[in-house]
Amino acid sequence: MTTAVLLIRRLHQHRNWVNQHLLAAAADLDEEPLRRTFAIGQGSIWASLLHLYAAEYVWLETLQGNQSGLLPGDLPGKLPGNQQGTGGVTGMAELQRDWAALQVRWEEYLDSLTDKQLEQPVYRASSRVNSGQPIATSRSDVLLHVCTHAQYTTAQVVNMFRQCGVESLPPTMLIALARQEAAG
C-alpha cells in the first residue's frame, strides 16, 4: 500500500538523484561557464546550485523546528534584496561535500517521518514576509515545496547548461529514475 509518506520519500529520492546529476555535470565545467551570467534563475549555474542547496538546508532546519535557520556562514540582514547567501561555500568540492552531508540529514528525517506528522504545522520566520513573525505551513506542503522548488530551479540550471554547450544534459525526470531502477 502506498502512503502519503512513501510518496513524499519518493519525491525526495528523485530530488537527490537529480541533484547528484546536476553536481556531476557542473563538476565537468570550467569556472567561466560555471559562473557565467544568465538572465534566468539565480543568474549562473553556480549561484543556482548554491540556491538549491541553501533552500534544502533552510527547509530541513524549519522542519526540525528551527524557525529562522540560515545556512552556516550566512548572517541575517547581510544580504541585499533576495540575494542568496553562499554559506561560505566557495568551490565545487565543498558544495559536493556539504550537500552530501545535508542529504544524510534529509534521509534520516524522511526515514522517521510518519503520515500523522504530515498535517502538523511547521513555522518559518522570514524578514521578507509578515515582518519576521513565524508563519505556519503544513509539514506536507513544506515537503512538497522543497521538491517542486528543486524541479523548477533544475529546469533553469539545465537551460544554462544547454546555453553553455553541454552536450550530455543531466537526466531530470522521475520516469528516467524509475526506468534506471527497473533496468537494474
* CB 146 within 8 Å of CB 12: yes
Q: Single out the residue of 112, 121, 108, 102 nearest to residue 57, CA to CA.
A: 102
Residue 51 known to bind ligand: yes
Distances from the Cα of 2 to the Cα of 10, 97, 109, 115, 148, angstroms: 11, 33, 19, 11, 20
Contact 135, 124 (CB under 8 A): yes
* Contacts (Cβ under 8 Å, ≥6 apart) of 184: none
Flag whether 21 is marked binding. Answer: no
Binding-site members for a divalent metal cation are 51, 149
Binding-site members are 51, 149
